[in-house]
Amino acid sequence: MGTCEPHCQGEGRRSQKEIVARRSEREGREELSVVRGAIFSFFMRLFRKRRARIGIYGPPNAGKTTLANRIIQTFADGGEIGEVTEIPHETRRAIRREGITIEAKSGKKRAKLRIDIVDTPGLATKIDFKDFIPFGLSEEEAKRRAKEATQGVIEAIKWLDDIDGVVLVFDATENPYTQTNIVIVGNMEARGIPLIIAANKIDLPEASPQRIKNAFPQHTVVPISALKGENMDALYEEMARKFR
């Protein structure tokens, strides 16, 4: 049986040293990558704290886009974030508007809140194309609208992973004890997302914000009319308090 010469043993030792060196170098790069990732994450969180991302959520036709438009027209450069019609699920994709500063009165003081608004599609537990036909859509158009609305619901739910707070818009003229409303509130509670309920359409005589307060007593309910601009200062004040 042959024996290894001294230079072979030296080569073996050098090879082992090279393996150890390469391993140390690789571990060093991995540690540096972790540190860089932590620094990046820190600055991202710091930036996000300066500007809260607020989602406007709710069932179809509750007035979500009307509210988003009201905020933009009051505190930004005007314009609209989306179109408002009587057809349900008119908003079928989430739309974001960045860098809005809300100024709220709080007694003699004024509070400012920097936000990005995300106007989301209406949430529903069931979407049937037949619901669109009474609005003059053909069957083909209604089926396409129903498919887009379903995709919009999925997108709205995904957005919850990147939302700092929610203004949940309910129609104060309707029964709040619906499966959709209960599922929406339960989902947000389970995620621990700060939540304000806006009881919308108080300009209508049949509106009853108290029903919404009775249905969800664990949450702050602010009666508003996004269309007429009624009691909006109370909502802005609560947003500044809850989402800062």
Q: Tell me which residue has tokens 């969800």.
A: 216
Higher pLDDT, 129 or 16: 129
Residue 73: CB atoms within 10 Å: 14
Which tens digits make up the pLDDT trace of 162-173?
999 999 999 999
- Residue (of 58, 82, 60) closest to 71 by Cα position: 82
Residue appearing with tokens 């307060």: 213
State the DSSP code for 61. T
Q: How far apart are CA 71 and CA 116, in angstroms?
A: 11
Report d(CA 194, CA 132) in Å as an integer. 33
Q: 39: part of which helix (H) or strand (E)?
A: helix 6-50
Residues 59, 121: Cα–Cα separation, whole Å: 8
For residue 220, list its beta bridge partners.
Answer: 196
Write down the mean pLDDT value for the chain.
84
Span 77-103, average pLDDT: 78
Higher pLDDT: 59 or 77? It is: 59
What is the rounded CA–CA span in Å between residue 170 and residue 209? 9
Output the CA torsion 225→230→235→237 (10° steps).
170
196 contacts 57 by C-beta, under 8 angstroms? no
Residues 6+ apart with CB under 8 A from 60: 88, 89, 122, 123, 124, 149
In this structure, how many other beta carbons lie within 10 angstroms of the beta carbon of residue 235?
A: 23
What's 51-243's CATH class? alpha beta
What span, in angstroms and rounded, lies between the C-alpha atoms of 54 and 243?
Answer: 8
Most confidently modeled of 7-16, 31-40, 187-196? 187-196
CA dihedral of 182, 51, 234, 111, whole degrees rounded to 10: 150
Is residue 3 exposed (0-12), middle (13-18) or buried (19+ Cβ within 10 Å)?
Answer: exposed
Q: Is the Cα dihedral 83, 198, 74, 201 positive or negative?
A: positive
pLDDT for position 160 = 93
pLDDT tens across 119-158, in order? Answer: 999 888 888 888 888 888 898 988 988 888 889 899 999 9
